[in-house]
Amino acid sequence: MNKYLTPNFSFAPILPQRASGSRVWDNYGKEYIDLAGGIAVNALGHCNPELVKVLVEQANKLWHISNLYTTEPAQELAGKLVNNSFANKVFFANSGAEANEAALKLARKHARDHFGEAKHEIVACTNSFHGRTLFTVSVGGQPKYSQDFAPLPLGIRHVAFNDSKSLEGAINENTCAFIVEPIQGESGVLPATAEYLHKARELCDKFDAALIFDEVQTGIGRTGKLFAHEHYDVTPDILSSAKALGCGIPIGAMLCTDKFAESFSLGSHGSTFGGNPLACAVGSRAFDLISLPETLNNVINQGNILQSKLADLGQESGVFSEVRGLGLLIGCVLSEKYQGRAGELVKIALTEGLMVLQAGANVLRLAPSLLLNDDDLNEGMLRLQKAIRTFVNS
What percentage of the chain has pLDDT greater than the value 70? 100
Residue 39 is assigned to a structural domain of this protein: no
Q: Are residues 284 and 339 in the same domain?
A: no
Q: pLDDT by residue (tens digit) across 303-357?
A: 999 999 999 999 999 999 999 999 999 999 999 999 999 999 999 999 999 999 9
Q: Are residues 335 and 277 in the same domain?
A: no
Give the residue from 256, 290, 324 where a domain finishes. Answer: 290
Contact yes or no for 216/99 (Cβ under 8 A): yes
Q: Are residues 248 and 346 in the same domain?
A: no
Contact yes or no for 255/223 (Cβ under 8 A): no
Give the residue from 290, 306, 325 where a domain finishes. Answer: 290
Q: Are residues 271 and 227 in the same domain?
A: yes
Question: Which domain range does residue 195 map to?
Answer: 50-290
Q: Are residues 354 and 280 in the same domain?
A: no
Cα→Cα distances 74→69, 269, 352, Å:
10, 17, 42
Give the residue from 242, 266, 290 where a domain finishes. Answer: 290
Q: Are residues 286 and 297 in the same domain?
A: no
Residue 5 is assigned to a structural domain of this protein: no
Residue 40 is assigned to a structural domain of this protein: no
Grade residue 145 by pLDDT with cuts at 50, 70 and 90: confident
Assign residue 62 the CATH number of its domain: 3.40.640.10
Assign residue 366 the CATH number of its domain: 3.90.1150.10
pTM: 0.96
Q: Are residues 226 and 355 in the same domain?
A: no
Residue 364 is assigned to a structural domain of this protein: yes
Average pLDDT of the residues in 134-140:
94
Residue 124 forms beta bridges with which residues? Answer: 158
What total number of domains does the chain contain? 2
Q: Are residues 350 and 279 in the same domain?
A: no
Grade residue 223 by pLDDT with cuts at 50, 70 and 90: very high
Average pLDDT of the residues in 31-53:
98
pLDDT higher than 80, residue 183: yes
Q: Given CA atoms 8, 11, 17, 18 in this order, what sign does their dihedral have? A: negative
Grade residue 143 by pLDDT with cuts at 50, 70 and 90: confident
Report the run of H or E that residue 202 belongs to, with start and end.
Answer: helix 194-206
Residue 8 is assigned to a structural domain of this protein: no
Residue 222 CA to residue 244 CA, distance in Å, equals 8
Q: pLDDT by residue (tens digit) across 68-112?
A: 999 999 999 999 999 999 999 999 999 999 999 999 999 999 999
Q: Are residues 193 and 128 in the same domain?
A: yes
String of DSSP letters for 67-102: TTS--HHHHHHHHHHHHTSS-SEEEEESSHHHHHHH
Q: Are residues 368 and 275 in the same domain?
A: no
Q: Are residues 199 and 332 in the same domain?
A: no
> What's the pLDDT at 2?
81
> What's the pLDDT at 394?
85
Q: Are residues 63 and 196 in the same domain?
A: yes
Grade residue 1 by pLDDT with cuts at 50, 70 and 90: low
Residue 43 is assigned to a structural domain of this protein: no
